[in-house]
Structure 1
Amino acid sequence: MSEPLEFTVTLYPEPVLRRIAEEVTTFDDDLGRTVAAMYHLMFDSQGVGLAAPQVSLRRRILVMNEEGDKEKPELNITLINPRIVERTGDKALMEEGCLSFPSIFAEIARPENCVVEAMDVEGQPLRLELTGFISRVLQHEYDHLEGVLLVDRMSPADRVRNKVALEEMIEDYKEQRAQV
């Protein structure tokens, strides 16, 4: 039996966050372990969603639990190779955070509803119609698979409000890279 995987959250401005994730082609025990480790990290980090690029994996995998509650696994949604095929409803503004941007929040406008086609962890196709908060979570995590980040969706006012924190993240990243 293989050792369980352990991940840490990849922080902005790590370049892997900007790369488009690649399709998953193998549905095996390794994929199952990856998904389990992603859920573990998401719950430990008090998140409601996590995409594979946020753990430095360039794979089209995302996990969600709209309450961020590991005691409610029935709310877990695992999507492999997701594709948003429809976005409907009014664009609603809501404050979003991101595990890759700790302590940074911004008002983001997103359509209220979306339809996603994907595969489950066994490779079986699925289609979900999502509304409200979980639709927002999906759209946020899907952005990560496309290399789109919270900072890209921020209004100019939110960019100004978060300028110092973003600059500190960039400086921290540069310092860490210099030590390698």
Structure 2
Amino acid sequence: MKLPIVAYGDPVLKKVCAPIEETYPNLHLLISNMFETMYNASGVGLAAPQIGLPIRLFIVDTGGDDEKDRFKKVFINAEILEETGEPWAFNEGCLSIPDIREDVMRKPNVRIKYYDENWELHEEEVTGMPARVIQHEYDHIQGTLFTDKLGLLRKRMLKSKLDAISKGYIKADYKMRFPNQSRRR
């Protein structure tokens, strides 16, 4: 089932999320719905807060035609242990902040510990674009948005666009939930 994506301005996007237990209700269905939602919105990652759930869960699928180049994983109760390398800029976007893309500096390598959908514990090193997507989604479960990483001047320049998104004055190609949308629209 495709779920509505929570738009910028919703308080759930600014919360540090809680860990979950293996007994979390309907977890496999939730993960399946998250993948369907992400694919429908043409995303490469989706975190639980983006669908209104303040839990430490996110998914990543960088796509690609070749299975060896594809990075598709579920991250439960993830913890980034280390970020290394020379930071590099990349133009990022976010399904919760449609139509805004900005250069964000991130380190190219991460070491992360997490449980997968079968509750197997992993600790691994990830590099390049998959590492960047992981860092972006991990930020979501930490209550951080990519716009929080921008300079003060750039944030001020985006303020009216961000306010418009929170009020629903935007057309997205997927279902969204807007925190400050007026009922009379």
Q: Smaller-chain TM-score range? A: 0.7 to 0.9
Match among 139, 145, 151 for residue 147 of structure 2 = 151
Distance 1:96 1:158 in 2: 14
Q: What's the CA shift for 1:133?
A: 0.7
List 4+ stretches of structure 1 deviating above 4 A. Answer: 71-74
Cα distance per residue 1:66-108 (max 9 Å; x no partner): 1278x96963111110000011000111110000000011110
More helix per residue: 1
Aligned position for 2:181: 176
Distance 1:136 1:66 in 2: 10
Which structure has more relative contact order (CA 8 Å, sep 6+)? It is 2
Contact 1:27 1:122 in 2 (8 A): no
Q: Aligned with 1:39: secondary structure? A: helix
Q: How does 1:6-17 map to 2 (within 5 A)?
A: 6-17=2-13
Change over 3 Å in CA distance of 1:29–1:17 after alignment to 2: closer
Match among 116, 131, 137 for residue 135 of structure 1 = 131
Aligned position for 1:31: 27
Unmatched segments (≥5 aa) in structure 2: 169-177
C-alpha root-mean-square deviation of aligned residues, in Å? 2.3
Q: What's the CA shift for 1:177?
A: 5.6
Match among 116, 129, 135 for residue 120 of structure 1 = 116
Matched, 1:96 2:76: no
Match among 23, 32, 41 for residue 37 of structure 2 = 41
Aligned position for 1:63: 59
TM-score by length of 2: 0.85
Q: What's the CA shift for 1:137?
A: 0.3
Equivalent pairs counted in the alignment come to 174
Unmatched segments (≥5 aa) in structure 1: none
